[in-house]
Amino acid sequence: MSLTFPGPAILFCPGNRPERFDKAVAAADVVILDLEDAVPFASKQAARAEVISACERLGDHLVVRVNAVGTPWHDDDVGALRQLGEMTGMLRPIMLPKAEKVAGLRGLADFDIFAICESAAGVINAGALAEEPNCAAMLWGAEDLTASLGGRSSRSPAGNYYRVIEQARANILFAAAAAGKLAVDAVYTDISDLAGLAAEAAEAADLGFCAKICIHPTQSAVVRNAFAPTAQRLAWATGVLAEAERSGSAVFSYHGQMIDAPLFAQAQAILRSARSI
């Protein structure tokens, strides 16, 4: 399954806050209308109606996070989206929280699925989930994962992820890459710490994540800037591709550096990221 994003800033928006929908669409590259964690139990039905209405009038770059498989709201969420798809001729992609078993994706075979691995079982089974034909993207959630482990915090006092959480992050990236699917990095929960967000987003871009989840509109521009290659990197990548074409060789020297297939591929990735911002 081939899917691309128009940019790297993916913004969560609560499904029960319709007054925020248009602002979210204006701020982000992709908006996730959330029917799960952001919506209180008593507001689930009303939020579903608001989200379905918004999907009819807003642009193409919307994803709906439904409630998890096995919850009282999952079937109604999916049914409403299927009904909307019959009316409009287009099924909106679904973000599936608490993804753990391939059966959960197979029950949604007609949808493109953004699978969030946010439990121990989800991380362990990430490879199998990513291989499902309707899995379009793999995501992970540090805070839910920490809770599933019985932990107290995903980060050290210095603000860095603990090693076991970094291991889970890497596992999702490996699973997505092995299956040829997109990998999306988790949220940065400290909204006021834009410098920390920028550093983490730049690291995610360097490692191969294609996007990062935002939880506030102010984070979108920071993520875009972090995913954009620096002028120095862009000049290097442009020069490498030009020298490859000039030399006609699979291995060549560029400014004293030996360039072979892996570095050529990195140069191509830099140019792709520049075009997507």
Listed by start position, the domains of the chain span 9-227, 231-276
Quote the DSSP letter at residue 61.
-
Number of other residues whose CB lies within 10 A of the CB of residue 192: 9
Burial of residue 199, with CB atoms counted within 10 A of its CB: 0-12 exposed, 13-18 middle, 19 or more buried: middle
Instruction: Kindly report the CATH number that applies to the domain delimited by 9-227.
Output: 3.20.20.60
User: What residue ranges in the chain does DSSP mark as E strands?
Assistant: 9-14, 30-34, 62-65, 94-96, 113-117, 135-140, 182-185, 211-214, 252-254, 257-259
According to DSSP, the residues that pair with 32 across neighbouring strands are 12, 63
User: What residue ranges in 42-154 does DSSP mark as E strands?
Assistant: 62-65, 94-96, 113-117, 135-140
Q: Are 198 and 169 contacting, i.e. CB atoms less than 8 angstroms apart?
A: no
- In a structure prediction context, what are the per-residue pLDDT tens digits for the chain, which is 277 residues long? 346 788 999 999 999 999 999 999 999 999 999 999 999 999 999 999 999 999 988 878 899 999 999 999 999 999 999 999 999 998 999 999 999 999 999 999 999 999 999 999 999 999 999 999 999 999 999 999 999 999 999 999 999 999 999 999 999 999 999 999 999 999 999 999 999 999 999 999 999 999 999 999 999 999 999 999 888 888 898 999 998 888 998 899 999 999 999 999 999 988 887 876 5
